[in-house]
Amino acid sequence: MTGARASVLSQRVATAVLAVSAALAAATLAAHPVNADIPTGRLLPEVFRGYWLINATATLLFALPGWYLVSRRPEVPFGWLALAAGLGHGLAGVGMEWAVASQLGGFQLPGAWVGVWMFGWGSVVELPVLATAYALFPDGRLARGWERRAALVAIGL
């Protein structure tokens, strides 16, 4: 694949990931008012009640700059990493709203377990993404020697 074709493909993929991420953020924001009055009691501790807004916001705060970076320099991994974190937060937001509506709101939606899984794993994508970004800084490549081993351990953890 030529450089120009790869660049066009990268831009299309990045735009698609941004569009999906924005749709997930919008879905989270739209679903929350339906779930806002559902009594969650002990099943959803107070600490999680603001996650809908955190995930919707983080989706865009990662995905928009990620898209911008990929559209300018698709060969540098930082934009792709930010897009992954944005998508993860979008999945977490929608997953939580879906699971709450299904299990606590009495809507009996199919796939509530998928919502719980998306909530549980979607937002933690940010942690290895940030560890990877730090490990690759400043030139997009891992260092040599002990620094490489330390970076790989940090990413793995």
Q: How far is Cα 94 from Cα 32, in angstroms, rounded to an integer?
A: 9
Predicted pLDDT of residue 120: 87
Give me the count of residues in the chain: 157
Q: What is the mean pLDDT of residues 36-48?
A: 67
Beta strands in 48-118 (DSSP E): none
Condensed to tens digits (0 to 9), the pLDDT of residues 63-107 reads: 999 999 999 999 989 999 999 999 999 999 999 899 888 887 778
**Is the omega angle on the peptide bond into residue 128 within 30 degrees of 0, that is, cis?**
no
DSSP helix/strand/coil, 85: helix
Q: What angle do CA 95, 100, 102 make, to 5 degrees?
A: 95
In the chain, % of residues over pLDDT 70: 93
**Could you tell me the two tokens for 87?**
């998508």
Predicted pLDDT of residue 140: 87
